[in-house]
Structure 1
Amino acid sequence: MKVCLVGSSGGHLTHLYMLKPFWQNKDRFWVTFDKEDARSKLKGEKMYGCHYPTNRNLKNLIRNTFLAIKVLRKERPDVIISSGAAVAVSFFYIGKLMGAKTVYIEVFDRYDKPTITGKLVYPITDKFIVEWEEMKKVYPKAINLGSIF
């Protein structure tokens, strides 16, 4: 199984990194901001730098969509996993068109309201995971796995 882990640097990347027991023995690659925190956390990992800022930035949404086409065509992951933020949108939609499964994990600090990214990927995500039971009111098809932290 080949895994693509997509997320902004900082907290989103840390969230994905905490899934290490799942991804550590799998063929994998990362898509995140090419920033010092990401480079140090992912030292030795295959990483593609995406364009940022992403939130409400149409230019970088378009640039990341072309990046998604290029990277996903090359890597052909079986599953794409993200906990946000906006860079996930391009990779999820292009990935679905290419036959990849998608797993989205809504961020821990949202317990009663959706994120913009969550709202955008919810309709096409194969597994949508929340960490609070209250979030199932927001995302009825979600699976509550409790806290990753």
Structure 2
Amino acid sequence: MTRVLLVCSPGGHLQQLLGLAPAWRETDHRWVTLRAPDTEYELAGEQVTWAHGPTNRSLGKLVRNALLARSVLREFDPDVVLSTGAALAVPFLLGARLTGRRTVYCESFTRVHELSLSGRIVAPFVDQLFVQWPELAERRPKARYEGSVL
């Protein structure tokens, strides 16, 4: 069975990854996210690794989450890492790529004309970069538009 590591921040990023459930529901999957009321509620009963936050532009949290990514990737050994962002995606997708795993990033629905900072960072090295607006796909040659998650 395919092993999928699902990585996202709380809020809209979580909702979008939940919206992609048909792609990962029947897999052996595990979550990495930040502890928040919505993640605790929505992911009750799921295997969750709680990451270190807040992550926005925090070098210290980036380092801590990079170490966590190394540990989780070794322990869970996923075939693919799927993320909807935000900053938490960077160390996990980079670590996955460096260890030969497939990587998929789905940009936020709110990004119509330009990638988010996280999206710009991971775009050069992910296997698949999905965007949710055709306008953005036209501006980014690597990006694929296959419709909206929401």
TM (norm. structure 2) is 0.96
The question of whether the paired residues in 2 share the 8 Å contact of 1:104 and 1:127 is answered with yes
Equivalent residue, structure 1, for 2:128: 127
Q: Distance in 2 between matches of 1:68 and 1:61?
A: 10
Structure 1 runs not aligned, ≥5 long: none
State how far apart, in whole Å, the 2-side matches of 1:71 and 1:41 are.
21
SS of the aligned residue for 2:29 comes to strand
Matches of residues 27-106 of structure 1 in structure 2 within 5 Å?
27-106=28-107
Cα distance in structure 1, aligned partners of 2:36 and 2:109 = 23
Please say if residues 31 and 47 of structure 1, whose CA atoms lie closer than 8 Å, have aligned partners that are also in contact: yes
Number of corresponding residues: 149
Structure 1 SS opposite 2:100: coil
Q: Structure 2 CA distance, aligned partners of 1:18 and 1:123?
A: 25
Q: Which residue of 2 aligns with 1:116?
A: 117
Which residue in the other structure is 1:4 paired with? Answer: 5
| Structure 1 residue 25 displacement after superposition | 1.0
Write the distance in 2 (CA, Å) between the matches of 1:111 and 1:19: 19
Greater shift, 74-83 or 129-138, is seen at 129-138
What is the percentage of aligned positions where both structures have the same residue? Answer: 43
Out of 130-139 and 99-108, give the one that drifted further.
Answer: 130-139
Q: Which SS does the other structure have where 2:44 is aligned?
A: coil
Question: Which amino acid in the other structure matches residue 82 of structure 1?
Answer: S
Structure 2's unaligned 5+ residue stretches are: none
What is the TM-score with the length of structure 1 in the denominator? 0.97
Residue 140 in structure 1 maps to residue 141 in structure 2: yes
Q: Secondary structure at the match of 2:14?
A: helix
SS in 2 for 1:83: strand
Shift of 1:84: 0.4
